[in-house]
A and B are shown apart, each in its own frame.
Chain A
Amino acid sequence: MMKRYCFRIIVITGLLALTSVNCFASLPEGTPEKIVVVIHQKNEVQSLDKKGLINLFMGKYSAFPNGQEATPIDVALDENLKAEFYEALVGLPLPRINAYWSRLKFSGRVKPPALEQTVVDVTQRLENDESALAYVYESNVTDKMKVVYRFD
Chain B
Amino acid sequence: MINIYGLGVRLSLFLIAAALMVVLTTAEFFYRVTYENEINEANHDIEELYRAVGSTASIAAFLEDKELAKEAINGLVKSDKILAASIKSDSLYYQLNVNEAINRDTEPRMFVVRNPFMPEESLAEVNIYPNVDHIIQQAKNISTDNSYALYVEALVVGIVALVIAYYIIISPMLRVGRSLHEITPGTAQRIDIPDYHSRSEIGNLVNDTNQLLDKVEDQFSQERQLREEIEFLEKRFRMLFENAKSATVLITEAGTIELNNSAFTDLVEKIGLDAKPDYGELLSELFENPTAIKATLLESFSRNEFATGEFKLKSVNKNVIWVQLIASPLITEDGERFYQLTLNDISNRKHELQMLAMQADFDSLTGIYNRNGGEKLLAKLMNKGHHFALALIDLNGFKAVNDIYGHDAGDEVLKFVSEELKDKIRKNDMAIRWGGDEFVLLLQAEDEESVRTAIAKVNDGVKKPFYFNSESTPTVITMSVGVAFYPRMSRDINTLIKLADIAMYQAKQNKIVAPNDYLIFAKPDSHDKGDKA
Contacts and interface: CB of A to CB of B under 8 A. Distances in A.
Check if A and B associate.
yes
A54 B118 contact: yes
A46 interface: no
B62 interface: yes
A107 B117 contact: no
A60 B118 contact: no
A60 B62 contact: yes
A58 B121 CA distance: 15
A58 B117 contact: yes
Interface in B115-167: 116-118
A51 B65 contact: no
B122 to A, nearest CB: 14
B65 A90 contact: no
B63 A104 contact: yes
Nearest to A99: B55
A90 B67 contact: no
Interface string A50-93: 01001000111000000000000000000000000000011110
B59 A103 contact: yes
B64 interface: yes
B68 interface: yes
Contact of A60 (B56, B64, B67): B64
A23 interface: no
A18 B117 CA distance: 36
Contacts of A59: 63
A110 B65 contact: yes
Interface string B30-74: 000000000000000000000000001001001111011000000
Contact of A109 (B65, B116, B117, B118): B65
B67 A51 contact: no
A94 to B, nearest CB: 14
A100 interface: yes
Nearest to A50: B118
B118 A104 contact: no
A107 B62 contact: no
B470 to A, nearest CB: 190
Most chain A CB neighbours (cut-off 10 Å) among B64, B65, B68, B117? B117
A51 B118 CA distance: 8
B118 A107 contact: no
B63 A92 contact: no
Contact of A110 (B63, B116, B118): B63
A100 B59 CA distance: 9
Interface string A95-113: 0000010011001011000
Nearest to A53: B117
Interface residues of B, number: 11
A58 B68 contact: no
A19 to B, nearest CB: 35
A145 to B, nearest CB: 25
Nearest to A91: B117
A54 B117 CA distance: 8
A147 to B, nearest CB: 22
Contacts of B56: 103
Nearest to B119: A91
Nearest to B117: A90
B64 A107 contact: no
Interface string B66-110: 011000000000000000000000000000000000000000000
A39 to B, nearest CB: 21
Contacts of B118: 51, 54, 90
A107 to B, nearest CB: 6
Given A58-B62, A100-B59, A92 B67 contact: no
Contacts of A109: 63, 65, 67
Nearest to B71: A107
A82 B68 CA distance: 27
Nearest to A106: B67
A104 B65 CA distance: 10
Contacts of A107: 65, 67-68
A38 to B, nearest CB: 21
Interface string B252-289: 00000000000000000000000000000000000000
Interface in A9-60: 51, 54, 58-60
Contacts of B65: 107, 109-110
B117 A92 contact: yes
Given A109-B65, A110-B65, A104 B59 contact: yes
A111 to B, nearest CB: 11
A58 B68 CA distance: 15
Contacts of A92: 117
The residue among A59, A89, A107, A110 with the most chain B CB atoms within 10 A of its own CB is A107
Nearest to A110: B63
Contacts of A90: 116-118
A60 B62 CA distance: 7
Interface string A109-122: 11000000000000
Contacts of B63: 59-60, 104, 109-110
A104 B67 CA distance: 11
A100 B68 CA distance: 13
Contacts of B64: 60
Contacts of B67: 107, 109
A110 B65 CA distance: 9
Nearest to B55: A103
B72 to A, nearest CB: 12
19 contacts: A51-B118, A54-B118, A58-B62, A58-B116, A58-B117, A59-B63, A60-B62, A60-B63, A90-B116, A90-B117, A92-B117, A100-B116, A103-B59, A104-B59, A104-B63, A104-B68, A107-B67, A109-B63, A109-B65
Interface of A: 51, 54, 58-60, 89-92, 100, 103-104, 107, 109-110
Given A92-B117, A103-B56, A109-B67, 5 more contacts: A59-B63, A60-B64, A90-B117, A107-B68, A110-B63
Q: Which 7 A-B pairs have the closest CB atoms?
A: A90-B117, A54-B117, A60-B63, A107-B67, A110-B63, A58-B117, A60-B62
